Amino acid sequence: MKEIFSYVRPYKWTAIFALCLMLLELFVELVQPLIMAKIIDDGVRAQNHGMIMQWGAVLLGLSFVAFMAGIINSYFSSHTAQSFSYDLRNAMFDKIQSFTLATYQKFSTASLITRLTNDVTQVQTVLFMSLRIMLRAPLAVIGSIVMAFFVNAKLALFLVIGAPIIFLFLIFMVAKGVSYFGRVQKRVDRLNRVLQENLQAIRLVKAYLRGTYESTRFDEVASRLKFDTVKALRIMEYIMPVLLFIMNMSLLAVIWFGTKQIAAGTTPLGDIVAIVNYAMRMTGSFSMFAFIIIFYARAKASAERMAEVLSTENEVEDTSFSEEISHDMRYGELTFEHVSFTYPGGESPVLSDVNFQVKSGEKLAIMGATGAGKSTLLQLIPRFYEVTAGRILVEGRDVQQWDLQDLREVIGYVPQQSLLFTGSIADNVRWGDEHAEMDAVLQATMQAQIHASVEDFPNGYATKVGQKGVNLSGGQKQRLSIARALLRRGHILMLDDSTSALDVKTEQALWEALSEEHATMLVVTQKIRTAKGADRILLIDAGKVVAYGTHEELLQTSTLYKKIAISQQEVEE
């Protein structure tokens, strides 16, 4: 909780002002019973109408002051809570952006979404209610006890006799609440995960008529969330009856002994009314404790989940080197030296002792069966993951000695799954270079063979792309992803099976256009036809390099490569 609420510091003065206004409201609330006692003893019983009018006016004036303090307090409390949640949510999002892929995989996407939305809202609500009413309840109890002792110490003792029991009971219930509501938040994570999977695969669900199955799966997860939530709330429901029972017993004792003191003439009627009034205020405050503990327990569970994200350290810290090195002599050159890699938490290596070199401006085709390690190999170059053994050199320099931002700026990357973002087509292409002029965007789309298709859209480059490119075909999404990478004008261009949805004619035109590109190219492909146009071919099997050379050389030296070529009818058996 301490780490999370440190984000309140920039707004401490507005928070302090809100607390002062809340204390002013509380002061009026605690003074009112004394004024009422004064009106009863010196006004009503003495038949002094002037006294009644005078102190009645004071009572009305104080009530108006409390009313105005409450309105202003709400404004500043809301400002503080909203600003706090804004900063906290941005800090968490920035932290997630800094994660390495290995660190990111420690959390599910649905869990991160819940932490950025629901968990932040829980803590924000508690902060607002603390500044507005939550702190008022315990302070009202303490203030009522102090004022009751000021009025009549003997009767006030009955109000505090159950205080130790109440205190221990509340500590126990808070601990229980944090445990139960932490479990509830995890259920919310699971619900969001199922919902996310269903919405992302809605076409597949409809195509395979799995709507009923998905509804059953969702119902099961929702039922578990309902069960845990009901269980947590049921436990919290014990708070109010216990508190009210103890307080009502205390109130009965006050009335019983107070009546005897009035009969004996030792205590004025106004004092008894004041004590009873304070007891009623304490009872009202205690009745709020159930809600306070529920909100606090949920907020504490949420705060612990958010603190877990904020305190998570990356698997490998980013390296930054200020030295300037000229790479002109080895522009785009890439070398793998005995590189091995095992995923964090994995047991078997995905890549083992990989060695090869790609010279400046060359095109390397990477082939292999599904799961051979082709995509993993590409992801090691921009340091999405760190190598387990060996080293990777980019332009003669170990990637671990590069500044991470500088390294990724010289690489254009097209992932296996084409990802587009909500926005215009031009905006999606400008992901490669957000400051690029329209002429550069047009040049990139022409090279990627997508310009003509974009021009056919009613709004051209201003056409809005639906979520994840839902209104575009697979081939259009692939070519836009390639255009985005080309706009970056990196020294190394990596295409991870990025032409699988293109027809033969379009793909051929694409490779002809890319041949003019002054960049080293790494192309993951399953097509011998594509690999034939590369300067070298790297054949991977089970994470190991089993063949490396030109198309003609591999036909002569690699049985596996020849089988692949024969299966694709690129050579006669």
Arithmetic mean of pLDDT, 232-244 = 78
**Residue 349 near residue 385 (C-beta atoms within 8 A):** no
Q: Provide the pLDDT for residue 364.
A: 92
Instruction: Give the list of residues 6+ apart from residue 101 with CB closer than 8 angstroms, or none.
Output: 379, 384, 385
How confident is the model over 512-561, as pLDDT tens digits? 888 878 889 999 988 888 888 888 999 998 889 888 998 888 888 888 88
* Residue 49, CA distances (Å) to 8, 31, 233 in order: 51, 21, 51
Q: What are phi and psi of 108, to 5 degrees?
A: -75, 155
Please measure the distance between the N-terminal and C-terminal CA atoms of the chain and give it in whole angstroms.
Answer: 70
Does residue 164 register a pLDDT over 80? no
DSSP 271-324: HHHHHHHHHHHHHHHHHHHHHHHHHHHHHHHHHHHHHHHHTPPPSS--------
Arithmetic mean of pLDDT, 332-346 = 89
Q: Provide the pLDDT for residue 319.
A: 53
Arithmetic mean of pLDDT, 414-433 = 84
Does residue 338 register a pLDDT over 60? yes
Instruction: Give the list of residues 6+ apart from residue 365 with CB closer than 8 angstroms, or none.
Output: 523, 525, 530, 531, 533, 534, 536, 537, 538
Q: What are phi and psi of 96, to 5 degrees?
A: -65, -40
CATH 3.40.640.10 describes domain 2-310: no
Does residue 243 register a pLDDT over 80? no
Q: Provide the pLDDT for residue 340.
A: 93
Indicate the angle between helix axes 269-310 and 239-264, nearest 10 degrees: 160
Rounded-to-integer distance, Cα 218 and Cα 558, Å: 50
Does residue 114 register a pLDDT over 70? yes
What is the three-class DSSP state of 390?
strand
Band the pLDDT of 5: cuts 50, 70, 90: confident
* Residue 120, CA distances (Å) to 123, 255, 297, 478 in order: 5, 46, 14, 36
How confident is the model over 429-475, as pLDDT tens digits? 888 888 888 888 888 888 888 888 888 888 888 888 866 666 788 88
* Residue 131, CA distances (Å) to 240, 327, 420, 546 in order: 22, 58, 43, 67
Q: Provide the pLDDT for residue 320.
A: 52
Does residue 326 register a pLDDT over 60? no
Token reading at 556:
């002569």
Place of tokens 């707004």: 11
Token reading at 249:
């017993």
How confident is the model over 359-383, as pLDDT tens digits? 988 999 999 888 888 889 999 999 8
Rounded-to-integer distance, Cα 7 and Cα 88, Å: 6
How confident is the model over 171-218, as pLDDT tens digits? 787 777 777 877 887 888 788 888 877 877 776 777 767 788 888 888
Arithmetic mean of pLDDT, 221-226 = 89
**Residue 510 near residue 482 (C-beta atoms within 8 A):** yes
Q: What are phi and psi of 59, to 5 degrees?
A: -65, -45
Token reading at 423:
């926005």
Mean confidence (pLDDT) of the chain: 82
Of 291-300, 411-420, 486-495, 561-570, which gets the smallest average pLDDT?
291-300
Q: Provide the pLDDT for residue 82.
A: 92
Arithmetic mean of pLDDT, 94-98 = 86
Rounded-to-integer distance, Cα 428 and Cα 151, Å: 73
Q: Provide the pLDDT for residue 322.
A: 45
Does residue 2 register a pLDDT over 80? no
Does residue 112 register a pLDDT over 80? yes
Q: What are phi and psi of 539, to 5 degrees?
A: -105, 120
Q: Provide the pLDDT for residue 321.
A: 52
Beta bridge partners of 533: none
Q: Provide the pLDDT for residue 506.
A: 87
Q: Provide the pLDDT for residue 84.
A: 92
**Residue 370 near residue 528 (C-beta atoms within 8 A):** no
Rounded-to-integer distance, Cα 496 and Cα 378, Å: 8
- What share of residues in the chain are helix, strand, coil (percent, to 5)? 65, 10, 25
Q: Provide the pLDDT for residue 239.
A: 76
Where does 502-543 show beta strands of DSSP type E?
520-524, 536-541
Arithmetic mean of pLDDT, 46-52 = 76
Does residue 572 register a pLDDT over 60? no
Rounded-to-integer distance, Cα 118 and Cα 507, Å: 46
Arithmetic mean of pLDDT, 397-404 = 89
**CATH topology identical between 2-310 and 329-567:** no
Question: 329-567, what's its fold?
Answer: Rossmann fold (3.40.50)
Does residue 238 register a pLDDT over 50? yes
Domain boundaries, the chain: 2-310, 329-567
